[in-house]
């Protein structure tokens, strides 16, 4: 549905009094949705958008040309409707898509006409680069189980770059362009693309093997499908099955249908990927250098237990190819969140997810895979092996994982067992449960998490999510419960949500992410998105939210009023003005830097933040930010500048620098963070990324370079160099290294 409210008067004198109770919170949100939904216009039935699957004896050659005669047999899709900027109007450039399959592979042939082909924005070749999404691109999403929740998404551009991701829970219905914990961009499927620019636009051929996808056993069957084209220079998005402006292509409940699929064949549904690694490392500690030669072998296995269930097994797991974390500055009392980047934990990661829904104020994730095989400081802990069973059986979602780290005979070894079950109910709702057990291999310590959760979507724009959880740890018997509830309304002009969380003092999810416990916290968010359509303005985003946090005795410990006005321009640029007003109560000293502590007490302070981002589709782009503010009982000024250049279609670079100037009664200091990236792509199959980072808070320089060569789909060679330099006596940190590593890893996919 498309919801078109005329307006919403924010007049409720009793609103703030409802912050304390989750039941009143839901009632408030429900009332708001009733007001906002006073005018509802039905969208065209998605069943009107159907493609009849065409089965051919032999598929086309994937070479970036649509001259193979078999393409003329494919189903033709050539009607695309704008979402941006003029929703409901035909796309300004013609797009023709042919779709067919040979039972083992799904093929899409894309002919993207362009009235000004010289103006195509296409500079990115690297796999999974976010820059692909801001350039000219074509996207296809497949809801193979037709459950209106989960999907596979594939993206390419005129240079044949590849981006793929898995979608769970429709990305939580997030608005276009916003991140979501239910969008797994780090998943890498096995597929193939060839693209070419032509005098009339550009052409792409896409081949997606059936073995890459999971789907039910039926004959024939129907999948959900949607197609999207992004025209970079116009900042125009056009869909085959129309998607209203609040949502992106991940809204698979609004997808069309790929009908009459038959004779689908995944073979024996077995993929075996052995790997070998070799290299050398040097580690310096207390002036002593330890040189080591590293060599190892291992394997990953993937087997289709049934049409909907997939078994993954890993032995002697190695993640030498994983990218390094981006450095972050932490001036808070709470842990920072770093995303998962290791392959084994990425596929179907959304099926294990139970936690808060707002990624901008992450309250909790009950299962956080970085607790497995990584120490609190990010150091690698050996993974001996693991197994994972994930998938669907009818309306049931099953996710099991068991991983052993450290070694079966070592006290440091730990075993992690995770079991997750959920059942789809109604159209877009589900209920589920989670169990996590962490136990020492040799020892008595253990930690367990039990949880039940639900997602209810009674209306297309209204969703309620929540969980109840308990942990079990030796010597802790009380105060170990948690509860969470979120109610969200998203329409074309409004986004309103409220959430309540209660984490007791002894709630202890050791295999989760919990920045703060012993609190009750409530958040209410109101956001309006008018579209003035004048002076190059596309969308305005004035918003207000309040975050109100107490301890378990209902004593106020933290409050934040957040005011923001965002402006998106037709050319893709973005201007943001934000002000936060904070209240903080400290019961114990808080150290922001060695030797600089903030005394216990109550504090009121404010933060002004001004930022401007140019269009990220430009060859030269930049982001600027200035944030003058008071900070507890002192002052603070933050600055950030980022400049990037797509110099050629193969070579790009980006430099960023941030600085925090802190002036407190206990001391004055500066914190610097700098990063410099270079990306070079000889082709979409051979890419090099280097990144150098300096973090003054840790007094270290880090350099990482990763060369990836995909010599056949699913088979890669990686050459990786990592180095960390640190010397507190040297102000540059350049003279001494702490550790360095050079590794070569080769994988080979065997598929039957």
pLDDT single digits (tens) 50-78:
999 999 999 999 999 999 999 999 999 99
- CA end-to-end span of the chain: 43
- Can you give the pLDDT at residue 24? 44
Structure tokens at 488: 């969200």
- With cut-offs at 50, 70 and 90, classify the pLDDT of residue 222: very high
- pLDDT tens for residues 603-627? 999 999 999 999 887 889 999 999 9
- With cut-offs at 50, 70 and 90, classify the pLDDT of residue 319: confident
* Domain around 174: 44-261
**Does position 433 have pLDDT exceeding 70, yes or no?**
yes
Residue 387 lies in a domain: no
Residue 251 lies in a domain: yes
**Does position 584 have pLDDT exceeding 90, yes or no?**
yes
Q: What average pLDDT score do residues 31-60 get?
A: 62
Maximum average pLDDT range among 163-177, 263-277, 373-387:
263-277
Give the count of domains, the chain: 1
Angle, CA 18 vertex, CA 17 and CA 21 arms, to 5°: 125
**Does position 328 have pLDDT exceeding 90, yes or no?**
no
Burial grade of 478 (CB within 10 A; 0-12, 13-18, 19 or more): exposed
Residue 148 lies in a domain: yes
Helices H, strands E: what count in the chain? 1, 43
The chain-wide mean pLDDT, for the chain, equals 85
DSSP of 607-642: EEEEEEE--TTSSEEEEEEEEEEEETTEEEEEEEEE
Report which of residues 593 and 474 the model is more confident about. 474
- pLDDT tens for residues 348-365? 777 888 988 876 778 899
**Which is nearest to 147 in space by CA: 52, 253, 244, 248?**
253
Angle, CA 507 vertex, CA 502 and CA 509 arms, to 5°: 115
- With cut-offs at 50, 70 and 90, classify the pLDDT of residue 286: low
**331 vs 202: CA distance, rounded Å:** 47
Q: What average pLDDT score do residues 324-328 get?
A: 70
- Can you give the pLDDT at residue 382? 83
Pairing state between β 81-84 and 494-503: unpaired
Q: What is the pTM of this model?
A: 0.79
Q: What average pLDDT score do residues 710-738 get?
A: 76
**Which is nearest to 682 in space by CA: 245, 160, 183, 269?**
160
Q: Mean pLDDT lowest for which of 123-132, 133-142, 284-293, 646-655? A: 284-293
Q: What average pLDDT score do residues 267-285 get?
A: 86
**Does position 341 have pLDDT exceeding 90, yes or no?**
no
Tokens 């969470």 belong to which residue? 484
Q: What average pLDDT score do residues 688-714 get?
A: 89
- Can you give the pLDDT at residue 317? 80
Residue 54 lies in a domain: yes
Report which of residues 298 and 206 the model is more confident about. 206
Structure tokens at 667: 């001391």
Q: DSSP code of 58?
A: S
**Which is nearest to 201 in space by CA: 107, 122, 83?**
122
What CATH number is given to the structural domain containing 53? 2.60.40.1190
Residue 329 lies in a domain: no
Maximum average pLDDT range among 224-238, 305-319, 586-600:
224-238
* 546 bridge partner residues: 524, 561
CB 601 within 8 A of CB 590: no
**Does position 639 have pLDDT exceeding 60, yes or no?**
yes
Which are the contacts of 301, defined by CB distance < 8 A and separation ≥ 6?
A: 270, 271, 272, 273, 311, 312, 313, 314
**Which is nearest to 459 in space by CA: 484, 427, 485, 423?**
427
Residue 484 lies in a domain: no
- φ, ψ of residue 180 to 5 degrees: the values are -150, 145
**Does position 538 have pLDDT exceeding 70, yes or no?**
yes
**Does position 176 have pLDDT exceeding 70, yes or no?**
no
- Can you give the pLDDT at residue 427? 81
Residue 74 lies in a domain: yes
- With cut-offs at 50, 70 and 90, classify the pLDDT of residue 114: very high
CB 151 within 8 A of CB 254: no
Tokens 């419960």 belong to which residue? 481
Q: What average pLDDT score do residues 264-271 get?
A: 85
**311 vs 502: CA distance, rounded Å:** 36
- pLDDT tens for residues 376-406? 666 778 888 899 999 888 889 999 999 998 8
**Does position 648 have pLDDT exceeding 50, yes or no?**
yes
Say how far residue 752 (Cα) sits from the centre of its chain.
31
Give the C-alpha distances (Å, rounded to integers) separating 158 from 204, 231, 377, 530, 652.
7, 11, 41, 33, 17
Say how far residue 735 (Cα) sits from the centre of its chain.
37
- With cut-offs at 50, 70 and 90, classify the pLDDT of residue 490: confident
Say how far residue 554 (Cα) sits from the centre of its chain.
34
- Can you give the pLDDT at residue 751? 81
**Does position 301 have pLDDT exceeding 70, yes or no?**
yes
- With cut-offs at 50, 70 and 90, classify the pLDDT of residue 295: confident
DSSP of 687-713: EEEEEEEEETTTTEEEEEEEEEEEEET
**653 vs 648: CA distance, rounded Å:** 10
Tokens 């050791």 belong to which residue? 510
- Can you give the pLDDT at residue 180? 54
* 97 bridge partner residues: 77, 110
Residue 181 lies in a domain: yes
- With cut-offs at 50, 70 and 90, classify the pLDDT of residue 572: confident
- Can you give the pLDDT at residue 139? 97
**147 vs 253: CA distance, rounded Å:** 8
CB 225 within 8 A of CB 257: yes
- With cut-offs at 50, 70 and 90, classify the pLDDT of residue 732: low
Cα dihedral sign, 341-347-348-352: negative
- Can you give the pLDDT at residue 712? 87
**Does position 13 have pLDDT exceeding 80, yes or no?**
no
- With cut-offs at 50, 70 and 90, classify the pLDDT of residue 181: low
**Which is nearest to 28 in space by CA: 378, 357, 488, 402?**
488
CB 336 within 8 A of CB 327: no
Structure tokens at 418: 């995770």
Percent above pLDDT 70 for the chain: 88
């Amino acid at each position: 549905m498309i919801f078109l409210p005329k307006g919403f008067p924010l007049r409720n004198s009793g609103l703030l009094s409802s912050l304390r109770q989750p039941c009143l919170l839901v009632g408030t949100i429900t009332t708001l949705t009733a007001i906002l939904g006073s005018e509802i216009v039905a969208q065209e039935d998605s069943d009107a958008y159907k493609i009849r699957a065409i089965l051919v004896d032999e598929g086309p050659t994937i070479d970036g040309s649509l001259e193979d005669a078999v393409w003329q047999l494919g189903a033709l899709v050539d009607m695309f409707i704008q979402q941006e900027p003029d929703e409901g109007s035909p796309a300004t450039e013609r797009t023709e898509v042919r779709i067919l399959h040979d039972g083992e592979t799904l093929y899409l042939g894309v002919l993207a006409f362009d009235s000004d082909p010289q103006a195509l924005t296409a500079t990115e070749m690297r796999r999974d680069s976010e820059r692909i999404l801001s350039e000219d691109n074509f996207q296809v999403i497949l809801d193979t189980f037709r459950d209106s929740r989960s999907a596979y998404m594939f993206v390419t551009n005129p240079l044949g770059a590849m981006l793929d991701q898995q979608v769970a829970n429709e990305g939580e219905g997030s608005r276009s362009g916003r991140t979501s914990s239910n969008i797994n961009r780090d998943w890498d499927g096995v597929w193939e693309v060839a693209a070419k620019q032509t005098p009339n636009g550009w052409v792409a051929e896409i081949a997606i093997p059936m073995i890459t996808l999971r789907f039910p056993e039926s004959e024939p069957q129907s999948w959900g499908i949607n197609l999207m084209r992004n025209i970079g220079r116009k900042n125009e998005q056009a869909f085959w099955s129309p998607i209203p402006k609040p949502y992106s292509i991940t809204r698979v409940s609004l997808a069309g249908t790929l009908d009459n699929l038959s004779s689908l064949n995944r073979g024996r549904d077995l993929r075996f990927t052995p790997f070998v690694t070799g290299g050398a490392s040097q580690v310096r500690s207390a002036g002593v250098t330890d040189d080591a030669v590293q060599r190892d072998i291992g394997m990953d296995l993937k087997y289709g237990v049934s049409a909907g269930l997939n078994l993954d097994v890993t032995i002697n797991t190695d993640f030498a190819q994983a990218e390094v974390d981006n450095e972050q500055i932490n001036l808070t009392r709470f842990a920072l969140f770093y995303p998962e980047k290791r392959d084994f934990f990425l596929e179907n990661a959304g099926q294990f997810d139970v936690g808060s829904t707002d990624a901008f104020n992450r309250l909790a994730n009950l299962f956080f895979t970085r607790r497995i095989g990584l120490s609190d400081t990010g150091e690698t802990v050996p993974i001996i092996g693991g197994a994972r069973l994930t998938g669907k059986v009818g309306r049931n979602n099953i996710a099991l994982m068991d991983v052993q780290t450290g070694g079966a005979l070592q006290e440091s070894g730990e075993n992690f067992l995770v079991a997750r079950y959920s059942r789809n109910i109604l159209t877009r709702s589900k209920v589920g449960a989670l169990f996590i057990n962490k136990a020492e291999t040799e020892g008595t310590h253990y930690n367990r998490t039990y949880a039940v959760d639900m997602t209810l979507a009674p209306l297309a724009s209204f969703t309620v999510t929540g969980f109840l959880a308990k942990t079990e740890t030796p010597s802790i018997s009380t105060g170990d419960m948690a509860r969470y509830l979120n109610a969200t309304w998203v329409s074309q002009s409004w986004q309103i949500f409220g959430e309540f969380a209660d984490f007791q003092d002894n709630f202890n999810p050791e295999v989760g992410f919990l920045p703060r416990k012993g609190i009750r916290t409530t958040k209410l968010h109101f956001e309006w998105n008018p579209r003035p359509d004048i002076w190059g303005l596309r969308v305005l985003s004035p918003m207000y939210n309040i975050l109100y946090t107490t301890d378990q005795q209902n004593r106020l410990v933290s409050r934040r009023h957040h005011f923001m006005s965002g402006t998106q321009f037709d050319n893709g640029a973005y201007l943001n003005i934000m002000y936060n007003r904070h209240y903080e109560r400290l019961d114990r000293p808080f150290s922001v830097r060695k030797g600089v502590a903030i005394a216990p007490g109550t504090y009121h302070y404010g933060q002004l933040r001004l930022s401007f981002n140019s269009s990220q589709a430009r060859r030269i782009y930049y982001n600027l930010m200035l944030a003058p503010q008071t900070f507890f009982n002192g002052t603070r000024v933050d600055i950030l500048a980022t400049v990037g250049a797509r110099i050629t279609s193969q070579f790009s670079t980006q430099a960023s620098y941030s600085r925090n100037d802190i002036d407190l009664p206990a001391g004055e200091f500066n914190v610097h963070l700098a990063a410099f990236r270079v990306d070079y792509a000889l082709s979409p199959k051979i890419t090099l990324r280097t990144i150098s980072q300096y973090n003054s808070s840790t007094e270290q320089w880090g350099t990482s370079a990763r060369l990836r060569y995909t010599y056949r789909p699913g088979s890669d060679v990686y050459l990786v160099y990592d180095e960390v330099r640190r010397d507190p006596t040297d102000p540059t940190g350049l003279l001494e290294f702490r550790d360095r590593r050079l590794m070569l890893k080769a994988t080979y996919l065997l598929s039957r």
